[in-house]
Structure 1
């Protein structure tokens, strides 16, 4: 980068559950790796929705706050908004990520600051499609009934979940406090035969970034997380390269979700 060409700065907005401690850690960590290449800088801005326990009732109540959060972030004129709670979206019914993204985008338009909106639920679906994954396995921290909700949602989008591990942790702070490297042992409980990809964390609160590249090298198939997929889609919306070091195949720069999303919109 020339001394006469200052780095371009992008404002990253996130709508996060009040007890989430991971998305404001992992997404900045990935984007800071991009900054090391020069030419691009990021600032990070959040608005919070109240949620302490990962239960259906708290998730529904929390989602009602997302409109307020989108307005607050658009006041700051962020360049993209990420809704950082996968299971809140998926628990609202199949395909709800499309409705949520459109509604929250309308809030920003009404506020005079049109902003693209990405949901972690939609990002995971888009990321799997970009990889061409038809059959997957996943790890989730949720109780078994909510994990089944996630499985059903993904399968309704045309991706078969061949195996899953549910860690059954209801306290969201406890989820965020987990050691990401523990996933290196946990994934071995899964049968990965015939899987096209492994979702190492189907939850944006469960840390996994440090384990992604390690597990991917071991299993020989793409390994991703909800946070990785959200970063991928944010970068696409910003028209930036989707290449982040040591963050798995989806962020290798080799994939695009645009063809699949265009086909989805036309359907």
Structure 2
């Protein structure tokens, strides 16, 4: 019998990408591996990517965790990086504990993770010491993301902030533009390029193309989220054309999952 897994995501109401890129990667994996996946979301209100709206949105995440617990998902993840990283260094660990408690109280034993923690963990799996990144955020929020990553022991050599405040507009940005955007990024001496530090900014169609062009590992928060999901489910972390982290180059190892 083919194993089937329920993927649960806590998604900002204006996010249009995590319910497309996550299924796209796992559906691609289904063509080369026997496991099957279904996808389930609960949404929390957010329109503008501002600290005030992010704080309000975070308060809704506990309700969302309870709703996903009712579906008995097999893994549960938040789907907004900046909402976590803007709240202070290391905050993804606190969120994971709070959401896990809600899941357990509602009779769901699924591992709980965050996209923010998944990015940090994915970079560590790749042995990244120096990275450069692209993000759609306003510069002050981008700086908070950079500081958060630095606090986890990873140097950020360069970052480009596209400064798009409207979350729907972020989701509409053509990922093909990243092929030119990355040329403006300082990648000298970096171990990994994060092509999209934001789970709303599409990047999946460009990941492998940019990695092949640069000759160094390229990833995104969405890719790292899938990697963490597969690790939590005990499945081989392989997805075609999704960059080094999901290529089989970095087999599953022990350690923290976020």
Shorter chain as denominator, the TM-score bin is over 0.9
Distance of 1:171 and 1:78 partners within structure 2: 30
Task: Identify the residue that residue 122 of structure 2 maps to in structure 1.
Answer: 127
Which residues in structure 2 correspond to 1:108-119 (within 5 Å)? 108-119=103-114
Task: Identify the residue that residue 158 of structure 1 maps to in structure 2.
Answer: 153
Task: Evaluate the alpha carbon distance shift between residue 147 and residue 238 of structure 1 in structure 2; reply closer, same or farther with a 3 A threshold.
Answer: same
Distance of 1:254 and 1:198 partners within structure 2: 16
Q: 1:184 aligns with which of 150, 156, 179?
A: 179
Task: Identify the residue that residue 252 of structure 1 maps to in structure 2.
Answer: 247
Q: Are 1:236 and 2:225 counterparts?
A: no
Query: Could you list the per-position Cα deviations for residues 211-265 of structure 1 after superposition, in whole angstroms to 9, with x for gaps in the alignment?
Result: 0000000111110000000000000000011000000000012325644428x9x
Task: Identify the residue that residue 211 of structure 2 maps to in structure 1.
Answer: 216
Q: 1:106 aligns with which of 95, 101, 106?
A: 101
Q: Would you say how many aligned residue pairs link Structure 1 and Structure 2? A: 258
Task: Give secondary structure in 1 for the equivalent of 2:168.
Answer: helix
Q: Which runs of 4+ in 1 moved over 2 A?
A: 256-262
Distance of 2:12 and 2:93 partners within structure 1: 19
Q: What is the CA-CA distance between 1:187 and the residue it aligns to? A: 0.5
The answer to whether the 8 Å contact 1:91/1:149 transfers is yes
Task: Evaluate the alpha carbon distance shift between residue 130 and residue 38 of structure 1 in structure 2; reply closer, same or farther with a 3 A threshold.
Answer: closer
Task: Evaluate the alpha carbon distance shift between residue 259 and residue 239 of structure 1 in structure 2; reply closer, same or farther with a 3 A threshold.
Answer: closer
Which residues in structure 2 correspond to 1:1-267 (within 5 Å)? 6-256=1-251, 258-261=253-256
Structure 2: unaligned runs, 5 residues or longer: none
Distance of 2:46 and 2:251 partners within structure 1: 33
Distance of 2:181 and 2:47 partners within structure 1: 25
Task: Give secondary structure in 2 for the equivalent of 1:187.
Answer: helix
Q: What is the CA-CA distance between 1:159 and the residue it aligns to? A: 0.3
Task: Give secondary structure in 1 for the equivalent of 2:256.
Answer: helix
Distance of 1:137 and 1:256 partners within structure 2: 23
Task: Identify the residue that residue 3 of structure 1 maps to in structure 2.
Answer: none
Q: What is the CA-CA distance between 1:37 and the residue it aligns to? A: 2.1
Q: Report the TM-score, using the length of structure 2 for normalisation.
A: 0.98
Distance of 2:254 and 2:36 partners within structure 1: 28
Q: What is the CA-CA distance between 1:8 and the residue it aligns to? A: 1.1
The answer to whether the 8 Å contact 1:127/1:257 transfers is no
Distance of 2:142 and 2:240 partners within structure 1: 30
Distance of 2:40 and 2:186 partners within structure 1: 39
Task: Evaluate the alpha carbon distance shift between residue 58 and residue 9 of structure 1 in structure 2; reply closer, same or farther with a 3 A threshold.
Answer: same
Q: Report the TM-score, using the length of structure 1 for normalisation.
A: 0.94
Distance of 1:196 and 1:171 partners within structure 2: 31
Task: Give secondary structure in 2 for the equivalent of 1:66.
Answer: helix
